[in-house]
Every structure is written in C-alpha cells, then in structure tokens.
A and B are shown apart, each in its own frame.
Chain A
C-alpha cells in the first residue's frame, strides 16, 4: 500500500480499483457476521472456495466474505452477484450444486430460496419481505464489502466524504450540515449530535477527544456489533470527520470484549487506514493529524454511560459521575470529549456526501433518517432491520417480521432495552421515532426491539430487567442500588407465588424513587419496564399475587409439567431428554413425571413432537418455595 498524500491520490486509487484493478463482476458473497458464523458460514465459504477452484471458476468468480446481512436467523446467507440471487440456510454441502447450476448454468437452486406465505419462491434479496420494507442506508454496504479489505470500502466510494470535508469544507461548514440534518444520537438518548459537537468544539482547551461508544451492553440489541464487524471503515470515516470538525487530536473506540470479531475487524481497519495515510499525521496531506485507539470494555453495562465509559478508558472502575459539567466540556482526562454511538458516527459520511436535505427527506418532523433495530423474539423473521423513522410498529412486526411465529397471539413489543418499556397491541400503530416512543412510556434506546407473545409472562419480563439492572448497577448511589434491590425482592416474591396485597403499590413507590433520585440514566430509567408492565398488564400482576397463577405459564414456581396420559404415544423422547431422570415409563405406554425430581427445565416439553403435544404446562397444585438455581 502506498500512502495517499492528497485527495487526488485517493480518487486515483478509487479509479484504479474500479477499472484496471477491478475485481470480477461475478461474486459469491457469503455472510460472515457472527450470526452466520454460528451457523457454520466459515465452513460454507471454504466449501465455495474449493468448489470454485474445482469447477475452474476461481479466476472469474470472486468469493467474498462479507459482514452481516441482517437476516441472521436464516443464515448462512449467500448472495450471487450481480444476479442478486439470494440463498438462505446454505450448508457446505450445497456449495457444489450452487456453483454448478447458478454460476455455470445460470439456473437457480429453488429449494434454497425464500418461500413466502403463498409458497412462492423469491429469488432476489429485495423481493423478500424482510428486506422489501427496509431502507438500508447503513447496512446495505455490508453486503458489498469484505470488512478486512479497505480497498472494498474505497471502491464503493469510501473516504470520499472525508476528502470532501477536509478539502472542500471548513469545520464550521461540516458542523452546520450535521446540525441542519438534525442527526440525533442513535445510542439511546436521541440528543442532537450537532449540538454536542458544537459544545465540544467551543469548549476551552487545545486537546480534545472524540469517542465511539460500541459498548453495546443493551441486551437484545446487536446493530453496533454488525456495523463494526461488517463495515468498520464507515464508522472510522465518520469519526475522522467528527474529529476534524471538533478539532480533536485523538479518538477512542470503546468496544465490548464480548465482540471479538468486532475488535479484530476494527483493529485491521485502523492499521489499513494508517497505511493509506487516512489516519495518523497529515491525513491525505491536509495537515490534519488524528489517530485512534481501541479500548476493550470488560463487561459492565453501566460503563456504556458516557462518564463511566470515559473513566474506564482512564483505566479505572467505570462508574458514572454526577454530570454538573457535561463530558463534552470536561470528559476524558478532564478534557472536552465528544462521545457518539457507532450508528451515529456511521451516518456522518452519508450526510456529508449527500447533504443534509437528503437526510432530512427521511423520517418524521423531529427524527430524521433511518434507524437500525434488532427485531428479535417471537416474530417469524428475526434479524437486523433498518427502517426510516416514523414507520409504524405494526409494519415492522408484521410486514418485515412476518408476524408472530406459530400463530400465537401478539402480546407486547419491548424497545429501549432495560431503560425502555413495553408497548401493547393498542399502540402498534405508533410511529417509531424518538419522541413518540418516549411519550408512550418507552424509548428508542440503542434499537433492541423484542417481540413477546402470549407465552411470555409480563411479570417475569419486568423481573428480568430489574434483575439485570440490579446486577449491572455500579452501586454508588443509594436510590438506585437499594431501589433496584427491593424491587427485585418484591418481584421475586411475586413470581414465586409469595406476592402480597400492596406489593404493586410498593413497586410504584420504588419506581418513583428510582426515577427521581438516581445519579445517572441507568437508575432514572430503570423503572420504565416495570411501570410500563404495570400500566398495560396489571391484571397479570394481580393474577400472580391474588390467585398464585401465572397466566402465560412461565413462572416455574406456579406451574408444573404433566404428561397427558391420553395423548402420550409412548415414545421415549421426553424420558431421554430429561436431565434429572424424572420421567418414568416403558416404551409404547404413556410416560409420567415424578414431580419431586422435576426441575422444570422444560426439556420434555420441547422434545415432545408437535403432533403429539402430550407434555402440558399446568398450574402447580401448591406454590413451592423458590428453587435456588
């Protein structure tokens, strides 16, 4: 790699990459995000490499291991370009057939295509309902880029926004564009990025920092992971532009160590950017110096909070501090520091390139652009979806997500992670943007969107978040520490059938305390899931407390597993799966469960064939004491 010393050098490189050094048009793109790797995408890609070689196509067809396509559940996803034939759930053993028929004979392998509700096979990525209703500004590049090759990014127009900002715009002009675009923080709060940048830019001091928050601790959300893994340069480019605008000399990327592939790909991206002179001293010969360090987070949810994150980078325990002075004025090492989320940074190059008016053309009045959600839980199609702001929840759940799996009944959507709330069916037509979600007792958060169906217990779900926060809080301020502990105690009692009259009121009081007296956002928003659950699903709490009954049959102490003697066909599946050997019987005759040995792990319920459904969840005869796990 030769160092690029001017905007011209960069343009020349791009020209070379798209003409003389252009890679073959035909390409087998194998998704190699963590989701697909879990479904053995690596083996699959290796099989394609062997097959291309064997069938003599190695020179003509490129094998590209790309970032996440978003449709993780149906992975590994393989797309044949330029025909845009999309295969789902591809196995290594399918490679020979695909190369043979699709690449050699231009025939489509029907059985690997997406099948819609009417049984029609859909060939192209954008025909699939999951993709059809999305607006993929950020995620789209994932399908065209090998994240380990900077050339792929450059060939796709990468770093042109940086070059534009450095050579054609003054920092004030970049700032004006970002402000006008009304880009709001994608990490949760929705604070306007331009305003934040301006504060740091104007803050006194020569040394300033810019930071990327990739400490995606929010359970149920993984868009930051996919962006960093799949297209690290887009975030880096945004960060460099931000640094130039703010006048920062150093940047940090704070990424969870639970995301090893994201760490690896980011480090590779930084090295390659340095070699090209896009990072380091005198970037592209512009005289602007800037470099970036990766800091791995060690697994603490609270460290994603801005002041805690900065403390952690300083090498101390990541606890939030009271923010009488904002971190944008006095942050990392007490210097002005601007922290934005991964997705926010990734939007910056797009806005600089295409202008603020283009960005403003999408979304609602106060929420512009797109937002990536991780649509997970009980929907048919789960994965990462990027939608314009203002789309309704119903469209996301039913059009993109394909509705609830197994013809079950929809119960709730949870957004905003542990700081958000549950939205019931009556709010399904709510437009999704920062303000509407907030006004309805939830929030955008970093983009987790978990769909719950009738088999999910709302008391258990509320308890889940409180349990999570009680363990993840830093414990410094009393309202948060004790408020969460006491709430958890009460909720534990309720799910164990030991709830008492007055518990609900006590919970409400504790929620009030948490919201009004905690030091940081972890505490002030900790009550949202409980308050939302109480608001929309109060009857479920009452059923637990008064009738000692879990309507969704989830809470272990209120249910027991039984085998329907009429339905049981006497196959030994349940007895074999039982880890505690609590199921007795002889083949061909109905089995039975010995309740004293049963730990209620549900293994028998899961293996009992769908046609038989002999294992039943029934209300427990008498509530048992909480089992210690």
Chain B
C-alpha cells in the first residue's frame, strides 16, 4: 500500500490487539507501528479488556477463538468500557455464523487468517474514522438533547430526548447496528440540505436544534392522535398545515413512531393534493379552476397571475416568496373566478388589485429578511 507521510495516522491514536498467538500479535504490532499507530498488545480476553480500560483505544483488533474469555465475550463487554471503541475481528475460522455473530455484536470488519498487512491497515484506518464519527455523533446528540432539555418544561415526558439518549444507550448495550445514529445522520443531512437550498446556511448546532424542535412538534401531533395508525392522513395534514410542507425527517419520525413503513407514508403524501414534499414559498397563491371559475375565465386569470409572478402553477419562485397553485374547487363558486392569497378569498379580482397584494407580500418578506 502506497502512502504518503502526511496520510499516516497521527501517533496519538491507540490500537489494541487481543490475540493468543504471539506471532500474530507481533506481526500486527509491526504492521501498525509502521503506520504510526500506538499499538497495545494483550494475550487474552480479560487482559485485553483491562488494557482497553486503561488505554481507551480507537480500534480493538480481536481474535475470536481464545482460551478463557472468548472473542465474542470481549465484543460483548467492550461497549460498556467505551462506546467509541470500534472492534475489528480476526479469526482462523471464517464461517458465516462467526461473522454474523460478531457483526451483530458490533464488529466493524471481519478478517480471516491468514491476512495481508494491507488488509489490517485498511480495516484499522477505517475503524478509526468510524470511531471519530461516532464520537462526533454522540457529542452532537448530547448537545442537542441538552438544548432540548433546556427548551422544555422539566415535567414534560420527553420521548425525543429518550430517542436521542437511546443512541448512547445503544452502544452501552452493544447495539451498534445503531439505526438511530444512521437515522440521525440522515436527518441531519436532510435538514442541512434544505437549509442550504433555502439559502440559509446555519450553524450545525442550529440545524440540529431546529430538527429536534421539528421532531418534538411532530411528536406532539402524533400524541394528539393517540398513536393511531389510521390517523396517519390527519397527522400529515396537521404537519402540512403548520409547516406548509412535509420534510423528510418529519416523515421518518412519523414512520418510526407509528411503526408504518416510510413507503406507505410517501404513497399517501404523493396521492393527495394537500401535501407538498418540497418547501413552499412564504405566501401561497391559489387560483381556482373549478367549473364555475373555468367558465368565467379562471384559466385566463391563472395565465395572468402566472405571468405577473413569473412562475407556473405548482411552482415556487427562486426567492421562496410565492408558491402558485391551481386548485379544483374552493367552494366559492358564486364569486368566480376566485383567487386566494394566504387563505383569504378574492372574487373576480382585477390584475391591479392582485399586483398590489403581491407587492405587499414581497415587502413583508423583505422586512422579515432585513429583521433577521
């Protein structure tokens, strides 16, 4: 493996090797030392765990079959010492069962003997990266839960916080499958992405804070509907009416809390007109195209509004000020053609009146932006 000097691991990264065969231990030390890791060796499980306590390594290379404490048992106990330790398993018995058992216990990589030094170096390097990532996720989760704790009334039962705490508990129990970490990371990425598309690049903590606030809001809605699966559409409507769209993290949370597959939630969100899966503009303009409006020039009105706003039906302008929608019937047929601006009805409006309304909307957004 060709590596430049700079790419080598920093010297303060600890790696622990637990193997009963001295030759294996030594060859590992040799390989890892060359890469710049600080290597610690232990000949058996108990010694290994003790050494792990003392040195807090990033990666523990564990042999599965050892006298005394087996490798599996070591894996079971490692998370209790430090959730950040990433185990890499080496074994002479590369069976599927072994692999599955150790992966279940959180083994990050599974190497069968004999192995090339490069294989070991690669596994350890990636293990270290994973460990750093975990540390970060845990810190973020802690900060977010601390922020969440600060924000809520103390007596309120807090499921979200529990969810976040489950992240660290997951490690304590050795559950590295840690769907939660992965989920949180995805949610975070989503939120960040949307924040960016909205042109509001925020601090990482702020994004997570908002996310937690969102999830708390969603959770309150789910609770209001008693966690009933058949209230799914009602729950989505409540989220939509408050947030004006359905962010992915909100849907993921609904999916988790109601134990409904995410695909079914998306099926519903796509089927019904009321839901939007993209962020909406600050002001919603609806042009009714019901029959009564159609015969009295609704389509012409839509063309005019569309030309004035510079966006078509179903679109949001790049600045995020307006979303224009055409609707099938607003039930206000006697006043046809009807336009609504943020839920207020205007019967047969002339273009000048609408232009004034739109300008007022733009001015409002501009003031808000200036204020923030």
Which A residues lie at the B interface, using CB under 8 A? 34-35, 37-39, 71-73, 216-222, 225, 256-260, 295-296, 298-301, 312-318, 374, 376-378, 382-384, 414, 417, 448, 450-452, 456, 461, 464-465, 468, 472, 474, 576-577, 579-580, 599-603, 606-607, 629
What A residues does B232 contact at CB under 8 A? 315-316
Interface residue? B69 (CB, 8 A): no
Question: Are B330 and A258 within 8 A (Cβ)?
Answer: yes
What B residues does A600 contact at CB under 8 A? 303
Specify which of A71, A259, A474, A629 is in contact with B331 (CB 8 Å cutoff): A259
Q: Mark contacts of B216-247 with chain A using CB atoms, 8 A cut-off: 1 yes-contact digit, 0 otherwise.
A: 00000000000011111110110001000000
What B residues does A579 contact at CB under 8 A? 304, 307-308, 351
Interface residue? B333 (CB, 8 A): yes
Question: Are A219 and B328 within 8 A (Cβ)?
Answer: yes
Given pairs A38-B332, A450-B295, 16 additional interface contacts (CB within 8 A): A35-B347, A71-B334, A219-B329, A222-B329, A259-B331, A300-B272, A315-B233, A317-B267, A376-B292, A377-B292, A382-B333, A384-B334, A451-B295, A461-B295, A474-B271, A629-B312
* Chain B positions 235-290 with a Cβ under 8 Å from a chain A Cβ: 236-237, 241, 264, 267-268, 271-275, 289-290
Stretch at the interface among B49-57, B101-109, B187-195, B338-346: B338-346
What B residues does A316 contact at CB under 8 A? 230, 232, 264, 268
A383–B292 Cα gap in the complex (Å)? 11
Specify which of A298, A378, A465 is in contact with B236 (CB 8 Å cutoff): A298
A580–B308 Cα gap in the complex (Å)? 8
A72/B350 contact (C-beta < 8 A), A219-B291, A378-B296 known = no
A461–B293 Cα gap in the complex (Å)? 12
Question: Are B334 and A374 within 8 A (Cβ)?
Answer: yes
Question: Are A374 and B307 within 8 A (Cβ)?
Answer: no
A34/B230 contact (C-beta < 8 A), A220-B291, A382-B333, A579-B307 known = no
Interface residue? B352 (CB, 8 A): yes
Q: Can you sample 18 A-B contacts with CB below 8 Å?
A: A39-B335, A219-B294, A258-B329, A295-B234, A298-B272, A316-B230, A374-B334, A382-B292, A382-B334, A417-B291, A576-B352, A577-B351, A579-B304, A580-B307, A601-B303, A602-B300, A602-B303, A606-B300
Report the minimum CB–CB distance from A581 to chain B (whole Å).
10
Report the minimum CB–CB distance from B342 to chain A (whole Å).
12
What B residues does A580 contact at CB under 8 A? 307
A239–B241 Cα gap in the complex (Å)? 29
Report the minimum CB–CB distance from A420 to chain B (whole Å).
10
What A residues does B345 contact at CB under 8 A? 34, 37-38
A286–B44 Cα gap in the complex (Å)? 79
Specify which of B271, B294, B306 is in contact with A629 (CB 8 Å cutoff): B306
A313/B273 contact (C-beta < 8 A), A216-B331, A377-B295, A472-B328 known = no
What A residues does B333 contact at CB under 8 A? 220-222, 374, 376, 382, 448
What B residues does A221 contact at CB under 8 A? 329, 331, 333
A450/B292 contact (C-beta < 8 A), A299-B273, A299-B274 known = yes
A339–B328 Cα gap in the complex (Å)? 24
Report the minimum CB–CB distance from A52 to chain B (whole Å).
26
Q: Mark contacts of B300-320 with chain A using CB atoms, 8 A cut-off: 1 yes-contact digit, 0 otherwise.
A: 101110111000110000000
What A residues does B308 contact at CB under 8 A? 579
What B residues does A318 contact at CB under 8 A? 271-272
Q: Which 9 A-B pairs have the closest CB atoms?
A: A38-B345, A299-B273, A219-B290, A315-B230, A220-B291, A579-B307, A298-B272, A72-B334, A222-B331
Question: Are A464 and B294 within 8 A (Cβ)?
Answer: yes
Find the residue from A35, A414, A448 having the highest chain B CB count within 10 A: A35
Q: What is the chain A residue whose CB lies nearest that of B236?
A: A298
Number of A-B contacts (CB under 8 A): 172
Question: Are A298 and B275 within 8 A (Cβ)?
Answer: yes
A374/B303 contact (C-beta < 8 A), A298-B233, A300-B273, A316-B268 known = no
A37–B334 Cα gap in the complex (Å)? 13
Q: What is the chain A residue whose CB lies nearest that of B313?
A: A629
A341–B151 Cα gap in the complex (Å)? 47
Question: Are B272 and A374 within 8 A (Cβ)?
Answer: no
A376–B231 Cα gap in the complex (Å)? 36
Question: Are A606 and B350 within 8 A (Cβ)?
Answer: yes
Q: What is the chain B residue whose CB lies nearest that of A600?
A: B303
Interface residue? B170 (CB, 8 A): no
What B residues does A295 contact at CB under 8 A? 233-234
Interface residue? B327 (CB, 8 A): yes
A576–B308 Cα gap in the complex (Å)? 12
A260/B273 contact (C-beta < 8 A), A35-B334, A315-B230 known = no
A542–B273 Cα gap in the complex (Å)? 35
A456–B297 Cα gap in the complex (Å)? 10
Interface residue? B336 (CB, 8 A): yes
Q: What is the chain A residue whose CB lies nearest that of B300?
A: A602
Report the minimum CB–CB distance from A261 to chain B (whole Å).
10
Question: Are B332 and A222 within 8 A (Cβ)?
Answer: yes
What A residues does B295 contact at CB under 8 A? 377-378, 450-452, 456, 461
Report the minimum CB–CB distance from B244 to chain A (whole Å).
13
What A residues does B264 contact at CB under 8 A? 316
Q: What is the chain B residue whose CB lies nearest that of A411?
A: B295
Q: Mark contacts of B56-79 with chain A using CB atoms, 8 A cut-off: 1 yes-contact digit, 0 otherwise.
A: 000000000000000000000000
Question: Are B334 and A257 within 8 A (Cβ)?
Answer: no
A39–B349 Cα gap in the complex (Å)? 11
A607–B264 Cα gap in the complex (Å)? 49
Report the minimum CB–CB distance from A602 to chain B (whole Å).
4
Report the minimum CB–CB distance from A59 to chain B (whole Å).
33
Find the residue from B234, B274, B290, B307 having the highest chain A CB count within 10 A: B290
What A residues does B334 contact at CB under 8 A? 35, 71-73, 374, 376, 382-384
Question: Are A374 and B292 within 8 A (Cβ)?
Answer: yes
What A residues does B229 contact at CB under 8 A? 315
Report the minimum CB–CB distance from B357 to chain A (whole Å).
14
A79–B191 Cα gap in the complex (Å)? 53
Specify which of B236, B329, B350 is in contact with A218 (CB 8 Å cutoff): B329
Q: What is the chain A residue whose CB lies nearest that of B286?
A: A258
Q: What is the chain B residue whose CB lies nearest that of A379?
A: B334
What A residues does B268 contact at CB under 8 A? 298, 316-317
Find the residue from B229, B231, B233, B297 having the highest chain A CB count within 10 A: B233
Report the minimum CB–CB distance from B276 to chain A (whole Å).
11
Report the minimum CB–CB distance from A384 to chain B (whole Å).
8
What B residues does A300 contact at CB under 8 A? 271-273
What B residues does A220 contact at CB under 8 A? 290-292, 329, 333
Q: What is the chain A residue whose CB lies nearest that of B352?
A: A577
What A residues does B237 contact at CB under 8 A? 257, 296, 298
What B residues does A73 contact at CB under 8 A? 334-335, 347
A313–B233 Cα gap in the complex (Å)? 8
